[in-house]
Amino acid sequence: MDKIIIRGGNRLVGTIPIGGAKNAALPLMAAALLSDEPLRLSNLPHLADISTMAHLLSDMGVSIAMDGDAPDGGHMGRVFALDASTLNSTTAPYELVRRMRASILVLGPLLARHGHARVSLPGGCAIGTRPVDLHLKALQTMGAEIELTEGYIDATAPNGLQGGHVLFSNITVGGTENILMAATLAKGETVIANAAREPEVTDLAHCLVAMGAKIEGIGTDTLKVQGVEKLHAAEHAVVPDRIEMGSYAVAAAITGGNVLLQGGRADLLESVIDVMREAGVDIQDEKEGLRVQCTPGNLKGFDAMTEPYPGFPTDMQAQMMVLASVAGGASMLTETIFENRFMHVPELVRMGADINVHGRSAIVRGVEKLSGAQVMATDLRASSSLVLAGLVADGETVINRVYHLDRGYERLEKKLADCGAEIERVRGEG
C-alpha cells in the first residue's frame, strides 16, 4: 500500500486548482439512470470513488465514454458521457456497495425508471452506523414495496412510483438526492420537506432540470417536484469541491502561507470562511478564486459545531481541528452529524496535539509545535487532517492507508508540492 511522507515546516505559496466535487459527481452519475438519452458530465474529479461509481453503472450495462479532459490543462476535470439506454441489470452488488456507500444513490433512479431495483444494504462505516432507513421510508411513501433479504434491499413499484408528501425526520443528503431523482419520474407531485440544502443537492437539482425535470424550491428545504413522463439528454458541469477548497484553505492558514484556490467559490463555504476569519485567517474572493493568507503566529482559538448546510460541514471538522491544534488559546469543536467522527484525535495527539474529547465535543488547546510521526486514519477526512498536521509538524510524518485520501483528493501530493510542501508518495506493494 502507498504511503505519503511529509517533512513539515514549509510555508505554502502558490496556486491550487480546485476540482469538481466528489459528493456532487456521484449522484450526478446516478442521475444518468433516469433517462435513455446520454448525460454529459464535465469537471468530474479523477478519484477512486468516481471509478467505483463508473464500475457500478457499467456493470449494469450503462455505457460510459470518456471524452477526455476538458481544456484548461485538466483544471476543468474529466468529461464523461453516460448512456443508460443499454441498461441490462438493476442490481447493485455487495462487492461494489461495500466499497462505496454512495452506491445507494442508484436505488431511487432505478426504481423510478424500471419499477424494480436490488441494492446491497451498505453496512456501517468508520464514522458511524449510517443507516439508510430514511431513504427506504420515503420511497415507501411514494408507493414502493421494500423487502430486506439476504443483505439486499429488494424494491419494486409495479405500477410506477406515485407522488406524495415526504417529510424527512432528520436531514439527509443522500436521502434527499435519492428521493429527488425518484420524484422526477413519479406520477404527480412530490413534496420533499426538511430536505438537505447542501450545494451538491442543489447541483443535482439543476442537472435534473436540464434533463427536463420540473423542480421548484431549489436551494431551500422544501422541494416540489412535478413528475414527467421521461427525461432527456443534457450537459452539466460539476460544482467545485467545497471540502477540497476548505482543506487547502487550512493548509495555507496553518503554514502561514499565501495560496490562491483557483476556481474556489466563497458562496459554497461561507460557514467555514466565517470561522476561519474569526481564527485570524485572511480570505479574499478574487476573480480567479479564493485567496487565503495568514501571518505566522496569528491564529487564535474558535468554536464550531457541525450542522447540515448552511451550517458548518462535518466534512471539515477534522481539518479545522488541526488549525485549532496550532492556534493560540483554546477551541471547541462539536460533532452533531456522525457519532464516531473523532477517529483522528488519537493520531493527532500522537503528533503532540492537546485534545480532550467529552461526548460530542473536543476541547483543543493550541500547542507551539506538532511533531512528525507514523500515523494512519480510518476515513477520508481524518486522513486529510493528518496530511495537514504533517505540513506543520517538526520532522517527518508518514501517512499510511493512503487509499482513503485517493477517494476524495485528486493529485493531493502534487497540488501541495507545487506550493512548496515537501511531500512525496512512496508506492507500496499490494
Q: Residue 113 or residue 135: which is nearer to ligand EPZ going by CB?
A: 135
Does residue number 342 form part of the binding site for ligand EPZ (CB under 6 A)? no
CA contacts within 13 A on the Cβ side of 341:
25
Candidates 58, 66, 95, 131: give the one binding ligand EPZ (CB under 6 A). 131
Q: Is 247 in the site for ligand EPZ (CB under 6 A)?
A: no
Of the candidate spans 85-93, 123-131, 270-278, 389-397, the one that interacts with ligand EPZ by CB under 6 A turns out to be: 123-131
Query: 146, 182 in Cβ contact below 8 A?
Result: no
Which 57-96 positions form the footprint of ligand EPZ (CB under 6 A)? none
Q: Which three cell numbers stand for residue 261?
A: 484556490
Is 319 among the residues that bind ligand EPZ (CB under 6 A)?
no
CB of 175 to ligand EPZ, least distance (A): 5
Task: Give the residue, chosen from 250, 252, 408, 410, that forms a contact with ligand EPZ under the rule CB under 6 A.
Answer: 408
Edge-to-edge strands, sheet with 189-193:
165-167, 189-193, 222-226, 214-216
Site for ligand EPZ in 377-396 (CB under 6 A): 380-381
Should residue 316 be labelled a site residue for ligand EPZ when binding is judged by CB under 6 A?
Answer: no
If 0-12 CB within 10 Å is exposed, 13-18 middle and 19+ buried, where does residue 151 land? exposed
Nearer to ligand EPZ, 261 or 417 (CB): 261
Distance (Å, rounded) from C-alpha 215 to C-alpha 392? 46
In whole angstroms, what is the distance from residue 408 CA to residue 315 CA?
Answer: 11
Count CB neighbours of 87 within 10 A: 18
Question: Would you say how long the chain is, in residues?
Answer: 430
Q: Which of 4, 16, 25, 26 binds ligand EPZ (CB under 6 A)?
A: 26
Q: 306: Cβ–Cβ under 8 A, 6 or more apart, which residues? A: 312, 313, 314, 317, 333, 334, 335, 336, 337
Is 125 known to be catalytic?
yes
* Residue 422: exposure state from Cβ atoms within 10 A (0-12, 13-18, ≥19): middle
Distance of CA 304 to CAs 8, 278, 328, 365, Å? 26, 11, 16, 14
User: Taking CB positions, which residue lies at the least distance from ligand EPZ?
Assistant: 174
Question: Given 125, 207, 294, 419, which residue is catalytic?
Answer: 125
* Residue 394: all three cell numbers together: 517538526
Among 80, 312, 338, 342, binds ligand EPZ (CB under 6 A): 338
CA dist 6 and 77 (Å) reads: 26
Pick the piece of the chain touching ligand EPZ (CB under 6 A) from 51-59, 129-137, 186-194, 348-356: 129-137
Q: For residues 139-178, which are near ligand EPZ according to CB under 6 A?
A: 170, 172-175
The CB-of-101 to ligand EPZ minimum distance in angstroms stands at: 6
C-alpha grid cell for residue 262?
Answer: 483557483
* CA dist., res. 249 & res. 276, Å (int): 9
Give how far Cα 19 sits from Cα of 43, 47, 89, Å. Answer: 7, 10, 31
Q: Under the criterion CB under 6 A, does residue 25 sit at the interface with ligand EPZ?
A: no
Q: How many residues bind ligand EPZ (CB under 6 A)?
A: 23
Q: How far is the CB of 229 from ligand EPZ (least distance, A)?
A: 29
In the complex, least distance from residue 383 CB atom to ligand EPZ, rounded to whole angstroms: 10
Give yes or no for residue 43 binding ligand EPZ (CB under 6 A): no
Binding status of residue 130 toward ligand EPZ by CB under 6 A: yes
Which of residues 234, 337, 393, 402 is near ligand EPZ by CB under 6 A? 337
Q: Which residues in this chain contact ligand EPZ in the complex, by CB under 6 A? A: 23, 26, 102, 128, 130-135, 170, 172-175, 200, 314-315, 337-338, 380-381, 408
Residue numbers annotated as active site: 125
